[in-house]
C-alpha cells in the first residue's frame, strides 16, 4: 500500500465537499490548541464560524496563523494480516495553512453564511440580522495546500 500526493484541485475539492468537520490547529505562547469545526469553502478561502468569544477567538486575535486538516475515510487495510507494520487506514487527507481573518462587514458575513450552508444543504436559507451580527465569522485564505491518499493499492509495473 502506498501514499500518493493529490495535486488535482478538483479532486481535493471533492474530498472537502464530502467532509463535514475540519480540525483547526492554532497556538499562542507555545500552547497548541485544536478545535473541530464546521466549515465551507469560498473559492480559495475556508469559511469558519462560531461564537465571538472563548479560547479560539482569544488565540486567533493573538496569533491568526492556523493549520486546518480534513480526513476522509477510515477503512482498515493491510498487506499481511499477521504483520502489524503492514496495517494502514485507507484515507484521504487535506491540509491548509493560512492566516485567519475576522469578518465584521454585515453584508459579507451574510454572503458567507449563505455560502457556508451550501456545504451542508441544497436548501435556500435566510438569516436574521441578530444571527449575522452575533455569530463570528473567520475566513482563512489558502497560503499552502497539500493533500494525500493513504493506503492506496500499489501499481504493478508493466514488466512483472
How far apart are the C-alpha atoms of 35 and 22, rounded to whole Å?
Answer: 8
- pLDDT, one tens digit per residue, over 64-84 is 999 999 999 877 666 666 766
Residue 12 lies in a domain: yes
Residue 160's pLDDT is what? 41
Residue 58 lies in a domain: yes
Q: What's the mean pLDDT in 138-160? A: 76
Cβ 91 vs Cβ 73: under 8 Å: yes
Please tell me the total count of domains within the chain: 1
Here the CATH number for the domain that contains residue 129 is: 2.30.110.10
Which SS3 state, helix, strand or coil, does residue 59 take?
Answer: helix
Residue 143 structural domain: 2-152
Q: What are phi and psi of 3, to 5 degrees?
A: -110, 130
Give this prediction's pTM: 0.85
Write down the mean pLDDT value for the chain: 88
Q: What are phi and psi of 111, to 5 degrees?
A: -60, -45
- pLDDT, one tens digit per residue, over 85-115 is 766 677 899 999 999 999 999 999 999 998 8
Amino acid at each position: 500500500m502506498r501514499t500518493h500526493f493529490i495535486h488535482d484541485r478538483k479532486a481535493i475539492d471533492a474530498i472537502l465537499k464530502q467532509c463535514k468537520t475540519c480540525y483547526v490547529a492554532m497556538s499562542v505562547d507555545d500552547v497548541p490548541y485544536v478545535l473541530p469545526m464546521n466549515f465551507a469553502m469560498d473559492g480559495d478561502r475556508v469559511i469558519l464560524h462560531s461564537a465571538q468569544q472563548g479560547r479560539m477567538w482569544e488565540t486567533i486575535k493573538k496569533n491568526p496563523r492556523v493549520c486546518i486538516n480534513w480526513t476522509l475515510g477510515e477503512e482498515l487495510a493491510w498487506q499481511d494480516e499477521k504483520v502489524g507494520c503492514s496495517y494502514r487506514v485507507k484515507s484521504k487527507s487535506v491540509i491548509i495553512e493560512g492566516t485567519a481573518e475576522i469578518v465584521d462587514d454585515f453584508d459579507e458575513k451574510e454572503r458567507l453564511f449563505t455560502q457556508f450552508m451550501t456545504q451542508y444543504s441544497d436548501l435556500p436559507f435566510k438569516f436574521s440580522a441578530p444571527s449575522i451580527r452575533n455569530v463570528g465569522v473567520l475566513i482563512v485564505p489558502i497560503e499552502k495546500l497539500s493533500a494525500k491518499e493513504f493506503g492506496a493499492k500499489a501499481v504493478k509495473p508493466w514488466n512483472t
